[in-house]
Chain A
């Protein structure tokens, strides 16, 4: 049972428009989420995070929204730029004695067309 799901394998948007990447989770015990960005042949890099005590976190062009009742989070990129073309992963760390165990979604490949 995949506890963190990214149901869209790919997304294509025009430069300057909004990109919305979605992530769903099944375990209501998750209380912190992170988004990572990955370019080909490189490791993932941290992008933005959100705690369950918030419903929104913003960092420049990137905003993450959390809907706890729907167990859903989304990453908004506005405006999208060609350099944003990458694979985006959402991740949720476990808690307590399993705090080192993070669960990652399968990723969404974003293509931003000039």
Chain B
């Protein structure tokens, strides 16, 4: 009963490096989301995908790209990492967008040196 699985759980990068955070859900949900959480703050939406084949910007999309690979998988890419992107990243999914509880993965803790 995996739910939402994020890999990796931890990562340290140097400024300028690139990496892709992976997310997969096994609940047959249509909508998927990427958030970041900085210390003492709530979750801020980076990008979301309302359904397979669509992606939309959230509140803080700059410096990120996403790919909805198929219904199960939604990846987040940092092309040129910056120290300001040090954060905890959460992936979530829901049956559809809007008034639906979201199911979250356990996060990826990313440090950019």
A101 contacts B90, CB within 8 Å?
A: no
Smallest Cβ distance from B22 to chain A, in angstroms?
Answer: 15
Cα separation A43 to B98 with both chains bound (whole Å): 19
Of listed B42, B44, B59, B92, residue having the most chain A CB within 10 A: B42
Cβ-based interface call for B48 (8 A): yes
Contact of A106 among B42, B59, B104 (CB under 8 A): B42
* Distance (whole angstroms) from the CB of A5 to the closest CB of chain B: 10
In contact, A43 and B104 (Cβ under 8 angstroms): yes
Chain A 84-101 interface 0/1 with B at a Cβ cutoff of 8 Å (1 = within): 000001010101000111
Decide if A49 is an interface residue (CB 8 Å cutoff). Answer: yes
Within the complex, the shortest CB–CB distance from B57 to chain A, in Å, comes to 9
Q: Mark B66-85, 1 if CB is under 8 A from A, else 0.
A: 00000000000000000000
Contacts of A95 in B (CB 8 A): 98
Q: Which residues of B contact A46 (CB under 8 A)?
A: 101-103
* Given contacts A89-B43, A104-B42, A104-B43, A44 and B104 within 8 Å (CB-CB): yes
Q: Which residues of B contact A (CB under 8 A)?
A: 4, 31, 33, 35, 40-45, 48-50, 56, 58-59, 90, 92, 97-107
Q: Other CB < 8 Å A-B pairs besides A46-B101, A93-B98, A100-B33, 4 of them?
A: A45-B104, A49-B101, A104-B42, A104-B43
Which residues of chain A have a CB within 8 Å of any CB of chain B?
Answer: 4, 6, 9, 32, 34, 41-46, 49, 51, 89, 91, 93, 95, 99-102, 104-107
